Amino acid sequence: MIDLKLLQKDFNEVKRKLLRKGVDEKLLEKLRIKNEELKEAKKEYEALQAAQNAMSKEFGVYKREGKDISELKARVDENKIKVTDAIEIQRLRQEELEAIAMAIPNMPDDSVPDGEDEDDNIELKRVLEPRQFDFTPKEHWELAEQNGWIDFERGVKLAGSRFSVAYDMGAKLERALINFMLNYNTKKGYTEVSVPHLVNRRALEGTGQLPKFEEDLYKIENQDLYLIPTAEVPLTNLFADEILPADKLPFKMTGYTSCYRKEAGAAGRDTRGIIRQHQFHKVELVCITKPEESEAVFDDMVNTASEILTALELPHRLVNLCTGDLGFGAAHTTDIEVWLPGQNTYREISSISNTRDFQARRAKIRYKNGKKNELVHTLNGSSLAVGRTMVAIMENYQNEDGSIDIPKVLKPYLP
C-alpha cells in the first residue's frame, strides 16, 4: 500500500507519480477527498480532546475555589460523547481511505522510463548471441508433439483449455530444470523453502493480488483459501505481522511451486503451446531486506536469474520496464527475455521487481532498527518460469530432423 502519511504530507507529488503509472484521475480525486475527510476528522477529534483536557484541569480549580462543579461536569460528559463519536468517525474515515488505497498501485521510481506498454520498454543489455540456423526452426508446440514430450489434447480432456500433460523426457526435463534452478540458487546463498500452494485472503492482500486481481485467481468454494498465482505470495507472507531482527536481514529465499492463474485478462494470447497456461511450474526468488540494501539485493537477483540462462546457453536480454508495463506492486522491474528462434523474437521468462515498502506496509513486515520498528523492503522474481525455459530449450536446441539436444548442465540431472 502507498504511504498514507506521504499522501497527507504531499498529495500532489503522490498524484504526479501515480499518473505516470496510468492511475485514473477520478480515482485519485476520490483518494484526495477521502484524505481530506480524514484530516478533518482528525482535527475535530484533536479539538474535542483539547477541550476535554482543558475542562479536566478546571475541576481542580473549581474544587480549590469551592465552586459548584455540576455545570462543568455536564459539559465534560457531553464532550465525552462527542469525543467518542469523533473517534468512531475518524476510524471510519481511515477505513474508507485504506479501502481505496488498497486498490492503488505502487508509485514508480523516478528512474522508471515513461511509456504506455511493452513497446516502450528499454533494453539494457543482451547476453549470448542467438544461434544461426541453416534450416527454418520450428515452434515449440510442433517439437513437443513430434518428440512426444507434451500432450495438449489430453490436458484439455482432463481440465480444459490451457492445460497440458508432460510425458517421458518432457516430464524428466521439467524435473531436471527445477532441481538445477534450486541448486543454483542455493549455491548463490538463497535458502530453499517449500510452501503451501493454498493461501488465505490476507496473504494475497499482503502482496497486492487482492483486491484488484480477484478475477484472475482460483478460489476454493466456501473456504478462505486460494490457489497461489506465484510462490511470491506464501514466501513473502511468511513474515507477515512480524518484527524481524536487523542482523538476520536480508532473508534470501528460493522455492519451487506450481502456479495457478485464470489469465482472465489474456484472452486470445498464446493459445497454442505452453507459453501461457492456467497451471505452470516456477522457481521463485524472494528477498526481505533493509531499505538501504534493497538495490544491491535486486541486482543480485537479476544476475542470478540471468546466470541460469547463461549456464543453459540460452541467449537473452535484460529490459527495464516502462511505467505502462510495470506491475501493480512494483516500484521498478527488470524483465529477462529469452530468445525463441521459432518465433523469431525475445519473450519474457523472468520478471524481477523491487516493491520497496509497498508490500511490507500491507503485510505489516517490519524490522528492529535501533529502538524503532521500520518497514522492510520486499523483492521478488522468477528464477525461472520452468515451462518457458523448456520452450527455449526446445527451440534453441532443435535439430533439422526435429530432435532436441539437451543442455550440458542438465545432463547430470537426467537418467
Residue numbers in the known binding site for ATP are 261-263, 348-351
CA distance 49 to 43: 10
Q: Let me know if 276 is a catalytic residue.
A: yes
Active-site residue flag, 348: yes
d(CA 69, CA 170): 87
Closest CA to 112 of 286, 333, 264: 333
Contact between 7 and 112 (Cβ < 8 Å):
no
Residue 388 appears among annotated catalytic residues? yes
Binding site feature residues for L-serine: 230-232, 261, 284, 380, 382
Reading the block at residue 140, the C-alpha cell is 515449440
Catalytic residue among 351, 361, 383, 395: 351
Q: Let me know if 64 is a catalytic residue.
A: no
Q: Could you check whether the bond before residue 250 is cis, i.e. omega within 30 degrees of 0?
A: yes
Query: Active site includes 361?
Result: no
Question: Cα–Cα distances in Å, from 23 out to 92, 106, 334?
Answer: 24, 10, 21
**Bridge partners, 151 (sequence order):** 165
Q: Which of 345, 242, 354 is nearest to 298 (CA)?
A: 354
Kindly name the residue from 276, 293, 295, 307 that is annotated as catalytic.
276
Instruction: Check if the beta carbon of residue 111 is closer than 8 Å to that of residue 330.
Output: no
Annotated binding residues, written as ranges, equal 230-232, 261-263, 284, 348-351, 380, 382
Phi and psi based region of residue 150 (left: phi greater than 0; alpha: psi -120 to 50; beta: remaining): beta
Query: Which listed residue (20, 93, 162, 261) is catalytic?
Result: 261
**Catalytic annotation, residues:** 261, 276, 348, 351, 388
